[in-house]
Amino acid sequence: MHVQEWLETIPAVAVYVLVAVVIGLESLGIPLPGEIVLVSSALLASQHGDINPYVLGACATAGAIVGDSIGYAIGRKGGRPLLAWLGGKFPKHFSEANVGLAEQSFQKWGMWAVFFGRFIALLRIFAGPLAGVLHMPYWKFLIANVLGGIVWAGGTTAVIYSVGVVAEAWLKRFSWLGLVLAVLIGVASMLVVRNRARKAAAQRAEAAEREPVPATD
């Protein structure tokens, strides 16, 4: 049973809550398949009238914004020790190389890193906590967080729902393609980010080796 089939077995209210909670926890910094759950729910809404796409999009957007905001508060209070703790719990996601790349992105792009990070699976879990750790001004974070949440969560819901309505008969037979596409996009973006993280780590290591060793008396 895949995600959409399982969602069909629970009430609409539970779908709304599940989408908000999963996306909220992912935005907070816990690696969860928020994008897959959202795509599956939007496809389900296009095929069943019990799920209102507007309510679904609002719940997804609220989960994204609230989760990121909580992550920001935790990151600002926990600081870098929090990143080290997360690295111990989720080494594949919060490795030193990944954190270093994300930090470089934030230092270079500022609030735009929060906005565009929403669309990249791996960076999505970094946005809130790392913005807090780096003490990004909250008003900048809030603007990017709200806009990113609306565009990503609301936009994804609207696009997938519209496609489902237009091609309902086709999607009933091949709805799994939507999930496969979402997974492939997420995996591809993660591989690209990890590859860039390895290159950045290698460059930092080479730079450190080239630095002259201070002479000792």
95 band by pLDDT with thresholds 50, 70 and 90: low
Block residue for tokens 């990121």: 68
170/58 Cα distance (integer angstroms): 27
In tens, the pLDDT along 31-52 reads 788 888 888 888 888 877 788 9
In tens, the pLDDT along 124-166 reads 777 888 888 878 888 888 998 999 999 999 888 888 888 766 5
pTM here is 0.67
The pair phi, psi for residue 209, each rounded to 5°, is: -70, -30
111/107 Cα distance (integer angstroms): 9
Block residue for tokens 């600002």: 76
